[in-house]
Amino acid sequence: MTVPGAPHIIDAQGWLGFGAVGLWILVASLLALRGNAWPKGLAYVGIATAFFYFLALAPAVIPSLSGAVIFTIVAGGGGLVLAPIWFTWMGIFLRRTGSSLDSA
């Protein structure tokens, strides 16, 4: 949570907002893919989502990319499209899995 208008001094470059979330999605998806715990499509969408989260950090790592508008559009578009798909699918999957465990 942030205060509107306050400087973002804790995560100025987005390492926590994009890097940590991307790493979490990547690790969870790879482990689920390896253990056949989720549908394969969900795991692959998670890997692609993590890639776009990492892609959003590239201008912070490579300063020459900070002016590339197309790069920002691609990274943001991937995050705006794939992330909601992954989180929604994950929620539906967990809800169905949880309800089937409750009835057993």
- The set of residues, in sequence order, having a beta carbon less than 8 Å from that of 33 and lying 6+ positions away, is 40, 43, 44, 47
Give the whole-angstrom CA distance, residue 65 versus residue 72: 9
pLDDT digits (tens, 9 = 90+) for 43-79: 999 999 999 888 888 777 777 776 677 767 777 777 8
- CA gyration radius, the chain: 16
pLDDT digits (tens, 9 = 90+) for 79-103: 889 999 999 999 999 999 876 666 5
- Answering whether pTM is above 0.85, one says no
